[in-house]
Amino acid sequence: MPGEAFGQAADRLVVDVWSDVMCPFCYMGDTLLAQALEKFPHASGVDVRYHSFLLMPQLSDDDAPVSPTELLSTKHGLPPEQAQAMNDQVTERARQIGLDYRMDQAQAVGTRTAHQLSHFAATRGKQHEMVQELFKAYFTDGRNVADHQVLADLAADVGLDRDAALAALASGEFADAVEEDIQQARQYGIQGVPFFVFAGKYAVSGAQPVEAFLQALDTSWNETVGAADAAPTGAGR
């Protein structure tokens, strides 16, 4: 459910993910986790849930978009050339795992409303598809992911009702769910994203290699779902 984390059914492995639409390593981390799941024999028994985190909380959804290079330069007091070089390095790292980052076209904006759309999609069983679409819209397509009309179009692109998505954003129906995720991140001491929690107990921080995600999947599966399956009838249930 929106705003909840670490709940798990006995026969499912839940992976909770805190991320932000504008976080380049979050898109990479999501992709690497997906690649790990392709190799994981119990992938059909894994549920991935996404939670909101604001990488740039100072940005408002109403602010005019700025370039990521300008934002990086301003935030860290870097010369524009150094900020550009850092973004170029990130773009190359993304390319190595099959992602197409076009940072020169990206529009940095507040992402609270985009996170609301993620929660809307979760209630309709389309959260992962929606998160992927938001990442692509920001990093590859240069779209304004704070614009309600753009977000409604993205919802339609993954098979959701455009008018229903637009109405949910206009009403702020999922604004509280976003805030609850942010508060949970603070309570759990999450200071950076992406941040992955497997079965409520094993954490992986950052865009780690596929092997690291596979190890976390194996360990958490064996100690939760696998252990439950191996328990004698009537025990451990």
Phi and psi (nearest 5°) for 52?
A: -80, 140
In a domain, residue 7? The reply is no
| Inter-axis angle of helices 80-95 and 68-76, nearest 10 | 120
Joined tokens for residue 36? 């790990």
Distance CA 171, CA 52 (A): 18
Q: What pLDDT is attached to residue 229?
A: 67
Domain count, the chain: 1
**Is residue 103 one of the residues assigned to a domain?**
yes
3-state secondary structure (DSSP) of residue 106? coil
Confidence (pLDDT) at 230: 60
Residue 138 is predicted with a pLDDT of 98
**Does residue 45 lie in a domain region?**
no
Is residue 136 assigned to a domain? yes
- pTM above the 0.85 mark? yes
| pLDDT tens digit at each of 237 positions of the chain | 344 565 556 689 999 999 999 999 999 999 999 999 999 999 999 999 999 999 999 999 898 999 999 999 988 899 999 999 999 999 999 999 999 999 999 999 999 999 999 999 999 999 999 999 999 999 999 999 999 999 999 999 999 999 999 999 999 999 999 999 999 999 999 999 999 999 999 999 999 999 999 999 999 999 998 776 665 554 443
Q: How far apart are CA 159 and CA 157, in angstroms?
A: 6
Assess if residue 93 is contained within a domain: yes
Residue 19 falls inside a structural domain: yes
CATH number of the domain that residue 167 is part of = 3.40.30.10
Asked whether residue 41 is assigned to any structural domain, the reply reads no
Could you tell me the residue range of the domain that residue 169 belongs to?
Answer: 13-36+57-230
Does residue 49 belong to any structural domain of this protein? no
Q: Supply the pLDDT for residue 232.
A: 54
